[in-house]
């Protein structure tokens, strides 16, 4: 939960309300729209997120959510944090870490965490937070894929977390900014950095999930980590079929996630049967060594 939020009076009130409970998110959103509509906000604000001091730009969606509610994707963040706690996670990878929204929470339940983020616009926000607090997080400012290359990247100014190496994924009726970013072969990068004993990998790379898993093939075979990845129509198209997904990750069991119960304000996610035709913010791929732990 954030502490010491600094903004104008309207922002501090909204932040105070948002911190009371994650279920207030839906109720407070109209108030946030009113603040923005009347220009009653400071674009740069400070907040301490799980002990990490942040300077946040609330014109960006994810950073706005971090300021007002403590984190973006509250249900998902605390679901995967709980999974890492259950498996007694030694080393975790956060591939596509953005400003560290997930990483600063996951680091509490892992011995060490390596965060990968190639886009300097968001990586610089994360690095400033890390510079002011001793932690077990190492930020690596490079993207991971199944090749070494410099490729076009499309930045969404309204939602930096929706930026992508795939233009159709990033644009969504928003004018994007194109830049060139370097990507590295995932397996080679992990070996070069000397990262071992990987128990958990989060992959949220806006449509590049297939390429990252392909590049990680040798590392996945070596360490058999628990995997969490975003799964949407672009990802499904690249994997082509559930059979191909299973061949890429032999021995793994796949779960989707869904909101727990009928309460629209529920903040809990639970595992469910995986359906290749659905979009998921989180699918969980479980290797044999963790199947008894995760299924209970």
**pLDDT per residue over 113-144, tens digit each?**
999 999 999 999 999 999 999 999 999 999 99
Do 49 and 85 fall into the same domain? Answer: no
Map residue 199 onto helix, strand or coil: strand
Map residue 228 onto helix, strand or coil: strand
pLDDT in tens, 223-282: 999 999 988 888 888 888 999 999 999 999 999 998 876 665 566 889 999 998 888 888
pLDDT (0 to 100) of residue 39? 53
CB 251 within 8 A of CB 227: no
The DSSP code for 164 is B
pLDDT (0 to 100) of residue 264? 59
Q: Which of 27, 54, 69 is the last residue of a domain?
A: 69
Q: Using DSSP bridges, classify how beta strands 149-155 and 137-140 pair: parallel, antiparallel or unpaired.
A: unpaired
Do 37 and 92 fall into the same domain? Answer: no
pLDDT (0 to 100) of residue 3? 46
Do 111 and 203 fall into the same domain? Answer: yes
pLDDT (0 to 100) of residue 260? 73
Split into its structural domains, the chain has a count of 2
pLDDT in tens, 143-194: 999 999 999 999 998 889 889 888 776 666 678 899 999 999 999 999 999 9
Q: Quickly state the pLDDT bin for 74 (edges 50, 70, 90).
A: confident
For range 214-224, the mean pLDDT:
97
Do 114 and 177 fall into the same domain? Answer: yes
Do 85 and 57 fall into the same domain? Answer: no
Do 155 and 114 fall into the same domain? Answer: yes
Entry pTM: 0.87
pLDDT (0 to 100) of residue 295? 78
- In angstroms, the Cα distances linking 122 to 67, 96, 97, 119 are 15, 10, 9, 6
Do 49 and 87 fall into the same domain? Answer: no
Do 12 and 143 fall into the same domain? Answer: no
In this model, does residue 202 exceed pLDDT 60? Answer: yes
Q: Which of 36, 69, 102 is the last residue of a domain?
A: 69
The domain in which residue 154 lies consists of 74-295
Do 118 and 147 fall into the same domain? Answer: yes
Q: Lowest-confidence range among 33-42, 153-162, 285-294?
A: 33-42
CB 159 within 8 A of CB 201: no
Distance of CA 68 to the CA centre of its chain: 18
Q: Which of 123, 127, 125 is nearest to 55 (CA)?
A: 125
Do 214 and 198 fall into the same domain? Answer: yes
Do 57 and 129 fall into the same domain? Answer: no
């Amino acid at each position: 939960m954030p502490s010491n939020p600094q903004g104008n009076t309207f922002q501090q009130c909204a932040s105070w309300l948002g911190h009371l409970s994650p279920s207030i998110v839906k109720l407070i959103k109209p108030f946030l729209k009113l603040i923005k509509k009347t220009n009653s906000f400071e674009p740069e604000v400070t907040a301490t997120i799980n002990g990490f001091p942040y300077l946040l730009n609330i014109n960006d969606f994810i950073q706005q959510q971090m300021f007002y509610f403590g984190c973006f994707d509250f249900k998902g963040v605390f679901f995967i944090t709980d999974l890492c706690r259950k498996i007694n996670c030694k080393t975790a990878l956060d591939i596509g870490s953005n400003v560290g929204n997930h990483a600063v929470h996951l680091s509490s339940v892992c011995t060490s965490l390596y965060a990968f983020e190639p886009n300097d616009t968001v990586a610089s926000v994360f690095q400033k937070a890390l510079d002011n607090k001793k932690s077990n997080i190492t930020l690596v400012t490079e993207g991971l894929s199944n090749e070494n290359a410099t490729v076009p990247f499309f930045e969404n100014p309204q939602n930096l977390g929706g930026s992508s190496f795939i233009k159709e994924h990033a644009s969504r009726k928003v004018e994007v900014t194109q830049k060139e970013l370097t990507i590295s072969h995932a397996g080679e990068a992990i070996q070069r950095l000397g990262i071992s004993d990987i128990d958990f990998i989060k992959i949220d790379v806006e449509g590049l999930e297939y390429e990252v898993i392909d590049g990680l093939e040798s590392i996945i075979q070596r360490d058999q980590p628990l995997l969490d990845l975003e799964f949407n129509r672009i990802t499904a198209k690249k994997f082509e079929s559930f059979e191909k997904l299973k061949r890429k990750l032999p021995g793994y069991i796949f779960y989707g996630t869904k909101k727990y119960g009928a309460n629209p304000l529920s903040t809990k996610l639970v595992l469910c049967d995986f359906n290749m035709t659905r979009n998921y913010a989180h699918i969980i791929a479980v290797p044999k060594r963790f199947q008894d732990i995760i299924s209970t």
